[in-house]
Structure 1
Amino acid sequence: MHSNKNNLMCVDDISESETLDSLSLITANSFSLTGEVQNNKNLLFAIVHHSSNAVVITDTKRRILYANKKFEDISGYKLEEVLWQNPRVLKSKKTPRSTYQDMNSSLSQGKDWHGEFINTHKDGTEYIEKATITIIRDNSGKSLYYLAEKTDITALKIAQKEIYSLAYYDTLTGLPNRTHFVEKLNEKIATIDDNYEVRFSVLFADLNRFKTINDTCGHLSGDMALREVARRFKSVIGGEDILARIGGDEFILVHDHTSGSCPSELARKLSDSLLEPLSIHGNDHHVGVSIGSASYPDDGVTLEQLLQFADIAMYEAKSSNRFYYAYKDATGSQSQRQFYITTRIEKAIDRNELYLVYQPKIDLKTKQIIGAEALLRWREPELGVVSPAEFIPIAERCGFMNDIGFWVIEQVCCQLKKWQESGVHLPGSLAVNLSIQQLDHSDFLPIITAILDRFDVYPKHIELEVTESMLMTNPQQTSEMLAMLAKCGFTISIDDFGTGYSSLAYLKDINASVLKIDKSFIEGVSSKTNAKTIVESIVQMAHNLGMTVVAEGVEDKLQVSFLKDIECDIAQGFFFSKPMNAQKFERYLSNLESK
């Protein structure tokens, strides 16, 4: 074995000339090169040797003939240590057997192969590689070599795992979060396939007197209490039950049962698990729980029905000072409120009860406003201001979001026109949220363009926000519609990133140019290291895709400072401004222009 003048290792029984010819053949078969470059074999060596990807060449017996510098960097092995050896010297025993079976099958059939390996570095640490193995043939078609090109994706995999964990698990208790729970419940319902012999219940649990701990002892004590409650709840549920924390002091679980008394028996166990006081910093705290349940198929057969009815039953238990209520027994004010909202929301537009508020988005580098988001609100005569989190799901469930969504777009265009005519300048674009019902509407594109034409508003002035879950509902149709909207000039924004599938892959297909990090991620950056790591990873990956990143729910200076440090582009939240009605927002813009 010796080195040529390009410092490339060759084996003793293959002459330097033959090795150069072999690599020349491999390179010529693998890349489209000019005649001048192809004839300069030493230059070809240099190109391969200094490639940013690891390159490994084996003969047809899978013996290593050559490996470039990047391979040495990634694996820790020098070329002379692995020459003539099978690449299995890197094997960690963590790569699934099916991966090797698929690779061997493809190569034996004369096909190239793409996949991932979990390999072992010389120092014993593990790393993950994305590999492409290409068969190199001579002019007669005979296989001569295998060319493997590998990329170290360990850091990417770790970041994706952390993003998945933050997106699907509660960082405080380690329990599944709402997104994870909804997915699992949907899967469970789908597998039943109208088999009403199967029975299970959804139990919604809300802690009592928890707020007292937060108010008197602080949020750190409250966090300790929630972790202890989660531990106790896990100790009494069955192995097949799914327990999740969905926010604040609310827990939810799915429980399989064989009799109608099973839900109440489990509710009793959950309640009894809190009879012993919680000991926090030497002080005893007594908390209770209010639990509501809805059963499949007696109370409902869809996810929406079961969640809604379990929630109603829980409020019924809380309002009546009982630890448990089954939905079939719940007839209190909460169920009446849900019914009342259902009957009133359809006519809310006609009664002029809906209105918009506007929240500015701030460029973190220049500290200047760079756009705004229009947010929907409802002031109902009897109920007062109803939270969007309460009435929008009902409107979607009842099929009213098409009318409401198009009304929002019309109001936004009308307001932009008014500001333009009065000389008020809004930098950037005005964002609106879309619903899946709008995207599914067969005439969505002509309707929205007609609205813009009526008010002389250009698509570049409108930013359309969609959530990850919307993209997954009907991926192909939704992606095609968003791609057409982007082609028309609309800005496409992915809202609440991290609360759904947390994958950046689909963004390429829809030409999304803005990514909004959900406020649940931002809340933890002031105190939690893992939250900082996740947010920074999202910003870096989005920037690599050429996307602008907006942080939602920014509420304090520490969050702003951190976001600036990681070069997040835009921030939105109460730290800068609460949402304002059109008149206040107009004054806000005017004051900025006068400074």
Structure 2
Amino acid sequence: MPDTPALMSGWVHIGGAVVLLLMVFLIRSYQQRIDEVRRLGSDLAQCDRELQVRQADCEQIITARREMEAALHEQQEFFRLIAESIGEHIAVLDLQGRRVYNSPSYRQFFGNARQLPGTDSFADVHPDDRERVRRVFYETVQTGVGQEIEYRLIRHDGSVRYMASVGKVIQDKDGQAVRVIVVAHDITDRKQAEQWERIAATAFESQQGMFITDAAGVILRVNQAFTEITGYSAEECIGQTPKLLSSGRHDAAFYAAIRHSLERQGSWQGEIWNRRKNAEIFPEWLTISAVTNNEGRVTHYVSTLADISLRKAAQEEIQQLAFYDALTRLPNRRLLQDRLRTAMAASARSGRQGALLFIDLDNFKTLNDTLGHDMGDCLLQQVAKRLLACVRDRDTVARLGGDEFVVMLADLDKQPQEAATQSRIVGEKILAALNRPYDLAGSEYHNTPSVGITLFGSQQDAVDELMKRADLAMYDAKATGRNTYRFFDPQMQAVVTARAALERDFREALQRQELFLCYQPQVDRAGRIVGAEALVRWRHPQRGLVSPAEFIALAEETGLILPLGLWVLETACAQTTVWAAQAGREEFTVSVNVSARQLRQPNFVEQVLGVLAKTAANPRNLKLELTESMLLDNVQEIIAKMTVLKKHGVGFSLDDFGTGYSSLSYLKRLPLDQLKIDRSFVRDLLSDPNDEAIARTIVALASNLGLEVIAEGVEGVEQRDVLATQGCHTYQGYLFSRPLPLAEFEAFLQAH
């Protein structure tokens, strides 16, 4: 067994070595750690130094960045200030034309509420310019070369503005286009100015002559129309004054008035006579306007002139048409009334009398109807010449129309009796002159006048009243046998007053339904009542029954025949419907008289058909009676209207046949059903062979034309028998019954 102390000593030696080794290891390890720490410290120091350097660099970078941001902000602010201060509008667009940036002025241009960025810039371009603008934009993007273009923009309020813009392409570092800057400005004012310049240039070269002078009146410029009007070329006028055109017709006061107007008002216009280069004097309308500078000093005068020769001729023609009769060249009614007012005023001042002679040619209508209107016109022209030869130069001869003439005698004697004698002498002179034969296309023709005379003087009469007096006197001359003269008599005025009262009462009668129809039976050979004639009657509240001879003529003259005729037609048709519904009266006809005025209405056919429809009347139960006088005018139109109504079943009877001027050629063309023998032939049928022959001829004529015949005014059995032997079919007259009111007529029908 080993020695323990030695063993212990050995283990001590071994343990120390281990410890040493361990210490060495530890020291080495510690040294290594120290070295590592030192190295780390060194590295840390190095890192610290590097960190300090990097921190300095970062601070420099940060500082540089801040400086760059400040510079950029400064540039942006500078750019903004420039964009806001200059007049142009700046926009940045992407390559598709969408807005990236718009200057404030651009936004204000479109309206502050408008959000422009991101919108299509082409949408606001006028539709007519849009495609052209889009094409130029894409060409700029592709080529990199900006193009200036003019176009129209539509603002949000709908207004259109003219713009001029140019684009600049922005490229990246590789030279690729990334944006387009567009600078635009509003050129609307310039465009309008150019347009006004063109208008002014066009106006200056208008059809009106124009010339411009300086303040001293020296001509500086003339247009082409000026040279055409005056005959002077521009070279001959420039440097001259307007005196070059002076005609010599105006005195110094005329030109002084022009200068005075220019000084006070800055303009003058009026009619002036000037002289052309060929010495022809012509009328022109001249307008002169002064042009002043900012200080109000006249610098130029602009004058326009128009040749009014044709207008003056037209005015004279219009004057002739307005105040003179086209056929005779005598004053017409309008000019006569003007002269008559003047003469009446002069007579009132001087106390001298005047006279008005109303002249109407006797039977002038017969001349027109037999020889034609051309011969009538020839006669009127000769009458005008003869009347002029019968009076003094200061008197007036006028034509009112048709065959009516008026002679106004002025400045007669102060005493009415002497003035009447002077007027009578002129009246007799006129009668003698107009009684001489006339030469109408180589044929001798005789004609006579009827003359009415009235005086005027200090009494304040109206012109129309004076004309009525002369007219009444003329009609009195006709009533006393024609070819004579008559002075106005106060009794004539009473007739006029009564007629005016009758007209007033008749108008009220139409409204108050004072009119009623009577019916006179029409009887055939067998004594059967086959129809009736409707006759209008008027029961006046004070006068009682008024004769149709009074109010029918009045209605014709005043035009009241139209509402009267329509009322008669409606009333008769309504009654026709009632009778046609009765057993045995299905073919009962009612005859209604139609006036010429009714027949001339353009809508006469429609009116009759409308009444038939309204009353449910059978057209075959209605017979319209016409007179021969209606066939003298517009017979073709009358035939056309009758034919249309005839096709609908309406019958026609020609009333008072034989008393007027009948044309057999027209008669055979008229769609008639019946001829009515006038009562004037029936009255003396038994005692006057001529009346008997006329009646027999009418019946024979009707038979040959296939027409029925009815005789009116049959009062005796002998008359009826003679007419029956002649072949007359139907009769009407007091032999059978007088015209009866509706209730009495229906009783008459029941009794027969």
TM-score range, shorter chain: 0.5 to 0.7
Give the percent of matched residue pairs that are identical in Structure 1 and Structure 2: 27
1:234 corresponds, among 380, 388, 395, to: 388
Asked if the contact 1:299/1:327 (under 8 Å) is kept, the reply is no
Asked if the contact 2:503/2:554 (under 8 Å) is kept, the reply is no
1:107 corresponds, among 262, 273, 283, to: 262
**2:550 maps to what in 1?**
383
1:53 counterpart = 2:213:
no
**1:202 maps to what in 2?**
356
CA distance in 1, matches of 2:358, 2:224: 57
CA distance in 2, matches of 1:582, 1:575: 11
1:146 counterpart = 2:306:
no
CA distance in 1, matches of 2:268, 2:258: 6
CA distance in 1, matches of 2:209, 2:599: 47
The structure-2 alpha-carbon separation of the partners of 1:347 and 1:173, relative to structure 1 and needing over 3 Å to count, comes to: same
CA distance in 2, matches of 1:579, 1:290: 38
**1:248 maps to what in 2?**
402
Give the C-alpha shift of residue 73 in structure 1: 3.2
> Deviation string for 1:181-215 (max 9, x for gaps)?
112112333455x5482311111011224344433
2:487 corresponds, among 321, 326, 330, to: 326
**Paired AA for residue 302 in structure 1:** A
CA distance in 2, matches of 1:579, 1:276: 46
SS at match of 1:84: coil
2:446 corresponds, among 286, 304, 315, to: 286
1:306 corresponds, among 463, 466, 489, to: 466
**2:219 maps to what in 1?**
64
CA distance in 1, matches of 2:498, 2:352: 32
CA distance in 2, matches of 1:42, 1:111: 23
1:343 counterpart = 2:510:
no
SS at match of 1:274: helix
Aligned length: 358
CA distance in 1, matches of 2:512, 2:239: 74
Asked if the contact 1:116/1:128 (under 8 Å) is kept, the reply is yes
**1:578 maps to what in 2?**
602
The structure-2 alpha-carbon separation of the partners of 1:184 and 1:341, relative to structure 1 and needing over 3 Å to count, comes to: same
1:188 corresponds, among 339, 343, 347, to: 343
Q: Which stretch shifts more, 219-228 or 337-346?
A: 337-346
CA distance in 2, matches of 1:242, 1:220: 26
**2:324 maps to what in 1?**
169
CA distance in 2, matches of 1:158, 1:291: 37
Give the C-alpha shift of residue 126 in structure 1: 5.3
The structure-2 alpha-carbon separation of the partners of 1:314 and 1:64, relative to structure 1 and needing over 3 Å to count, comes to: same
Asked if the contact 1:206/1:289 (under 8 Å) is kept, the reply is yes
SS at match of 2:236: helix
CA distance in 1, matches of 2:249, 2:344: 33
**Paired AA for residue 383 in structure 1:** E
The structure-2 alpha-carbon separation of the partners of 1:151 and 1:290, relative to structure 1 and needing over 3 Å to count, comes to: same
CA distance in 1, matches of 2:369, 2:256: 59
Larger-gyration structure (1/2): 2
Tell me the C-alpha RMSD between the 2 structures.
4.2
1:270 counterpart = 2:430:
yes
Counterparts of 1:11-90 in structure 2, within 5 Å, are 46-90=201-245
SS at match of 2:301: strand
**Paired AA for residue 397 in structure 2:** L
Asked if the contact 1:279/1:285 (under 8 Å) is kept, the reply is yes
1:218 counterpart = 2:372:
yes
Instruction: Name the TM-score, length of structure 2 as normaliser.
Output: 0.42
SS at match of 2:228: helix
**1:422 maps to what in 2?**
none
Asked if the contact 1:348/1:354 (under 8 Å) is kept, the reply is no
Give the C-alpha shift of residue 52 in structure 1: 4.5
SS at match of 1:273: helix
Counterparts of 1:456-495 in structure 2, within 5 Å, are none
> Deviation string for 1:343-381 (max 9, x for gaps)?
1222333311799xxxxxxxxxxxxxxxxxxxxxxx994
SS at match of 2:330: coil
SS at match of 1:65: strand
CA distance in 2, matches of 1:171, 1:249: 14
Asked if the contact 1:178/1:246 (under 8 Å) is kept, the reply is yes
> Deviation string for 1:25-79 (max 9, x for gaps)?
xxxxxxxx95666589975873454345322111233221111123223333321
**1:536 maps to what in 2?**
none
Give the C-alpha shift of residue 133 in structure 1: 0.7
SS at match of 1:85: coil
Give the C-alpha shift of residue 340 in structure 1: 2.9
Give the C-alpha shift of residue 122 in structure 1: 4.0
CA distance in 1, matches of 2:299, 2:276: 28
Give the C-alpha shift of residue 176 in structure 1: 0.3
> Deviation string for 1:420-460 (max 9, x for gaps)?
xxxxxxxxxxxxxxxxxxxxxxxxxxxxxxxxxxxxxxxxx
Give the C-alpha shift of residue 240 in structure 1: 1.4
Asked if the contact 2:344/2:354 (under 8 Å) is kept, the reply is no
1:135 counterpart = 2:290:
yes
> Deviation string for 1:517-543 (max 9, x for gaps)?
xxxxxxxxxxxxxxxxxxxxxxxxxxx
Asked if the contact 1:225/1:278 (under 8 Å) is kept, the reply is yes
CA distance in 2, matches of 1:95, 1:391: 54
The structure-2 alpha-carbon separation of the partners of 1:231 and 1:338, relative to structure 1 and needing over 3 Å to count, comes to: same
Asked if the contact 1:267/1:291 (under 8 Å) is kept, the reply is yes
Counterparts of 1:506-545 in structure 2, within 5 Å, are none
Give the C-alpha shift of residue 169 in structure 1: 0.5
Asked if the contact 1:292/1:313 (under 8 Å) is kept, the reply is yes
**Paired AA for residue 550 in structure 2:** L
**Paired AA for residue 578 in structure 1:** P
Structure with the largest fraction of helix = 2
CA distance in 1, matches of 2:602, 2:512: 18
> Deviation string for 1:66-122 (max 9, x for gaps)?
111232233333211212222233344556887545323312445311112233444
The structure-2 alpha-carbon separation of the partners of 1:138 and 1:210, relative to structure 1 and needing over 3 Å to count, comes to: same
**Paired AA for residue 71 in structure 1:** F
> Deviation string for 1:491-523 (max 9, x for gaps)?
xxxxxxxxxxxxxxxxxxxxxxxxxxxxxxxxx
**Paired AA for residue 281 in structure 1:** A
> Deviation string for 1:326-345 (max 9, x for gaps)?
103765xxx56533321122
Counterparts of 1:410-425 in structure 2, within 5 Å, are none
Q: Which consecutive unaligned segments of at least 5 residues does structure 2 have?
A: 1-187, 514-537, 539-545, 568-596, 615-640, 645-752
CA distance in 2, matches of 1:344, 1:181: 30
CA distance in 2, matches of 1:217, 1:45: 63
**Paired AA for residue 142 in structure 1:** R
SS at match of 1:351: helix
SS at match of 2:509: coil
Give the C-alpha shift of residue 384 in structure 1: 4.2
Instruction: Name the TM-score, length of structure 1 as normaliser.
Output: 0.52
The structure-2 alpha-carbon separation of the partners of 1:216 and 1:141, relative to structure 1 and needing over 3 Å to count, comes to: same
**1:499 maps to what in 2?**
none
Give the structure, 1 or 2, with the largest relative contact order (CA under 8 Å, sep 6 or more). Answer: 1
**Paired AA for residue 300 in structure 2:** Y
